[in-house]
Structure 1
Amino acid sequence: MNNENSPARILVLDDEDRVRKIIGLQLEHEGYDVSLVDCGESAIEKLGGGDKFDLLISDIRMPGISGMEVLEYASEHCPLMPVVMLTGVVDVETAVNVMQSGAFDYLVKPVKRQDLLRATERALGYGRLVRYNRRLELENKRYQQNLESQVEDRTRKLSEALSQLRVVHMDTVRILSGAIEEKDPYIRGHANRVRHMAHHIAEALGYTPHQLDMFDFGALLHDVGKIAIDSRILNKPAPLNPDERKIVETHPLVGERIVSKVSYFSEIVPVIRWHHERWDGAGYPDGLKGEDIPQRARILAIVDSFDAMTSDRAYRLALSTERALDIIREESGYQFDPELVEVFFKEKTYELLFEGE
């Protein structure tokens, strides 16, 4: 990849000359180093050669090698490079497949300049953090290998590297959380309130400081997959239709894929994938049931639902706290783990709702 002080290198792939040139000019105007290619074969040749790119922006449907095939190649051979896909229509199956195949985001053509630049900034920011995290992990590994011969010096350096690594991880969380709230203003503060309540229950259950720290990260990032959901769906002022709901229900899987790129977060990947599972097995994405669902995901399901019910959404006003608590009680043993519901009420976790702002 490039020196952090040099312009980010972006490869733009689209078989339509006009679209390709417009996107290229808009990105060059922002100071990016842009390369344009008109077919999948040329893109793979660029990615497999000596050229290194910080971001790939690719059309999906093209003659010859498709954008999906280029995405698969990039995911395997350039795993640290984010990919943003372009689609000409809002095709539910295509959108779902794109995100599950490894794309960081997708845009619907014709692409507005503001949407293009925002998606580009988010993808490049995420790519920088992933690469920095990888470098620090390698340094950490080298320090551990040399500890026996230079214990004091290496211990100090290891401590510095780990401290630096934690800062990077927190930066990762802040960038991703901020990107989610930028797309859906109705959930502003939601992740932090959920973190606050989840932490309270976990502490009552005797979680260790390390487990609490990791659970905090998981709670803050539980909806990170919504980065890939079209803002028009997230902010729709009416109930979602079946196709839109299918897209929204991909966000735990997309979130799992995004977070799993940072090895430090491996412990919280199950929380992100399974926070929408139900105690009775009727949840998604895998239909897990009862104690097959990790405990942290079961805790998150309760506090996430409670905060969602007591917050305004684009399609409805907030429920009263009393009504939301009644629903939690009614769903005990159905949607929620009954033992954890008892803890939620015993510890009066719901009283912390507005302290997490």
Structure 2
Amino acid sequence: MEKVLLVDDDEMSLMVTEMVLTEMKYEVKSVMSGAECIASLKDDHFDLLLLDVELGDANGIELLKQIRKDPDIKDTKTVFLTVSSHREDMTEAVRLGALDFIRKPALPETLIRSVRDALSAREKETILAVDDEPMNLMATEEIFGIRYHIRTASSGEEALREVEERKPELVLLDLHMPGMDGLEVMARIREIEGCENLPVVFLTADDDADTEAEIFKAGAMDFIRKPFVMQVALQRIRHVLELKHLQDSMQEEVDRKTEAITENNRKIQNLSKQVILALAGTIDAKDPYTKGHSSRVADYALEMAKRMNKSEREQTEIYSIALLHDVGKIGIPLSIINKPGRLTPEEYEEIKSHTLRGYDILKTISELPELSVGARWHHERYDGNGYPDRKAGEDIPEVARIICVADCYDAMSSDRSYRKALPQQMVRSEIENGRGTQFDPDIARIMLKMIDEDTDYKMRGDTDGK
């Protein structure tokens, strides 16, 4: 059994991460300080160190420097846990040999994949970076040099010579270069024997759909926009190389592992739901009057999704997105959330900011990108007078339109710090009056039908709050 040392001074994060790793059959030791981390590494062997960037008694980067200087523990494989992504921190961490960065809060899929990849890290692979700007080549060497062997070329012609002499594992190729541009270079690479399927990832400052389509149509594996974010670039390169390794593996090996992978994925999906529920509970706990709000909104959204004939997968996604629609309230002061009277204009603006805060928290969860969509746009109005982006009509993502109706129904049908729950007929009238202005008319119609079927006003469940 592989052993993981988990170092995090956030008790909830520590508990959730340990639960996920233990369920996946890793032996986990959890500590909450830099001093305990060093002592644990010296006392026992660990296959992997999961290290929070910011600890109460130490900075994670400085702690890793200390580890790298100690001959007994200097080779410890390390993955960072981080709430933010400061370029300086990540650059220094990569220099120190950190294998990955996991943005908190992380879903089990992200955590397990990163841990598996770190534990099975291969010998350094070679990347050929091609760019006519010397500063860009220097930045590429600085960012990728710890994890990969970097060779450079400043023109298409030089790149072709490099590929013919020593085939790299991947080519990182600037799209726009004088003389031979990136697309022509890639086409010429494909003509070199043994390089027909050599992975190519483009670097481009272009930000339009036509360029993306042209790149993928030409056969590129991916592209990275300049100026690139280090964490994103590292993840994209890693994913491309992983895909290539998978394509090169033997089919019988894939078949042999299929059953085990399926079972692991099932466990991970179950853990994802548990983590999302735990986060939703943390949000609602900030306000005793909204206890259970996130779960109720998710239940209403799920019922509407069923009535809209969404697939089971879509229903599950909508439920998960609705559970975390208010995650941004984690960053709102309790004094504002629990204020019994009218909010000042400044306080109202602070409350409104939970949509953008939630989006920033959730946008890095790649396994379910629409989590951030629900958080950001569930307060948009169908007539365009909502916030934060004043989107209108079907420009508002459908899941956000669903959550908007569910959220408003729960807000009206439950007790709040400033008023008691509204009578059902008043709730119905507000939904009816908001069709086509505040709410998507078709989705509001579904909620009205649900209300009409709920003759005893029982759909709202236990909304006493306290």
TM-score, normalisation: structure 2: 0.52
Aligned pair 1:315/2:421, yes or no?
no
Residue in structure 2 matching 1:46, options 46, 62, 70: 62
CA distance change for structure 1 residues 44 and 10 in 2, over 3 Å: closer, same or farther?
closer
Residue in structure 2 matching 1:202, options 305, 325, 328: 305
CA deviation after TM superposition for structure 1 residue 167, in Å:
2.3
Comparing both chains, which one has the higher relative contact order based on Cα–Cα distances under 8 Å and sequence gaps of 6 or more? Answer: 1
Contact 1:10-1:54 within 8 A present in 2 as well? no
Task: Return 5+ residue gaps in structure 2 as ranges.
Answer: 7-27, 36-53, 68-77, 94-100, 121-238
Aligned residue pairs: how many? Answer: 277
Worse overlay, 178-187 or 72-81: 72-81
Find the aligned partners of 2:437 and 2:305 in 1 and give their Cα distance: 21
Residue in structure 1 matching 2:114, options 123, 126, 135: 135
**Identity of counterpart residues, as a percentage?**
30
CA deviation after TM superposition for structure 1 residue 153, in Å:
2.2
Equivalent position of 2:446 in the other structure: 343
Contact 1:192-1:220 within 8 A present in 2 as well? yes
Equivalent position of 1:80 in the other structure: 102
Equivalent position of 1:275 in the other structure: 378
- State the one-letter code of the partner of 2:262: S
Aligned pair 1:188/2:291, yes or no?
yes
For the pair shown, the structure with the greater C-alpha radius of gyration is: 2
Find the aligned partners of 1:75 and 1:256 in 2 and give their Cα distance: 22
Task: Return 5+ residue gaps in structure 1 as ranges.
Answer: 12-31, 37-42, 58-67, 83-125
Q: Which has the higher helix share?
A: 1
CA distance change for structure 1 residues 275 and 158 in 2, over 3 Å: closer, same or farther?
same
Q: Which structure 2 residues correspond to residues 245-256 of structure 1 after superposition, within 5 A? A: 245-256=348-359
Q: Which has the higher strand share?
A: 2
Find the aligned partners of 1:191 and 1:147 in 2 and give their Cα distance: 46
Q: Which structure 2 residues correspond to residues 1-357 of structure 1 after superposition, within 5 A? A: 2-3=5-6, 4-9=28-33, 34-36=56-58, 46=62, 49=65, 73-74=88-89, 79-80=101-102, 126=105, 132-135=111-114, 138=117, 146=249, 148-348=251-451, 351=454, 353-355=459-461
Find the aligned partners of 2:250 and 2:279 in 1 and give their Cα distance: 34
Give the secondary structure class of the aligned counterpart of 2:57: strand
Find the aligned partners of 1:241 and 1:209 in 2 and give their Cα distance: 43
Contact 2:102-2:114 within 8 A present in 1 as well? no
Give the secondary structure class of the aligned counterpart of 1:323: helix
Contact 2:412-2:427 within 8 A present in 1 as well? yes
CA distance change for structure 1 residues 144 and 231 in 2, over 3 Å: closer, same or farther?
farther
Worse overlay, 48-57 or 187-196: 48-57
Find the aligned partners of 1:303 and 1:338 in 2 and give their Cα distance: 13
Contact 1:200-1:349 within 8 A present in 2 as well? no
Contact 1:2-1:9 within 8 A present in 2 as well? no
Find the aligned partners of 1:165 and 1:334 in 2 and give their Cα distance: 40
CA deviation after TM superposition for structure 1 residue 262, in Å:
2.4
Contact 1:198-1:300 within 8 A present in 2 as well? yes
Contact 2:410-2:460 within 8 A present in 1 as well? no
Give the secondary structure class of the aligned counterpart of 1:150: helix
Find the aligned partners of 1:349 and 1:49 in 2 and give their Cα distance: 64
Contact 2:431-2:448 within 8 A present in 1 as well? no
- State the one-letter code of the partner of 1:163: R
Worse overlay, 269-278 or 341-350: 341-350
* RMSD of aligned alpha carbons: 3.6
CA deviation after TM superposition for structure 1 residue 243, in Å:
1.1
Find the aligned partners of 2:282 and 2:344 in 1 and give their Cα distance: 25
CA distance change for structure 1 residues 256 and 306 in 2, over 3 Å: closer, same or farther?
same
CA deviation after TM superposition for structure 1 residue 312, in Å:
1.1
Equivalent position of 2:24 in the other structure: none
Find the aligned partners of 1:75 and 1:277 in 2 and give their Cα distance: 35
Give the secondary structure class of the aligned counterpart of 1:265: coil
Give the secondary structure class of the aligned counterpart of 1:5: strand
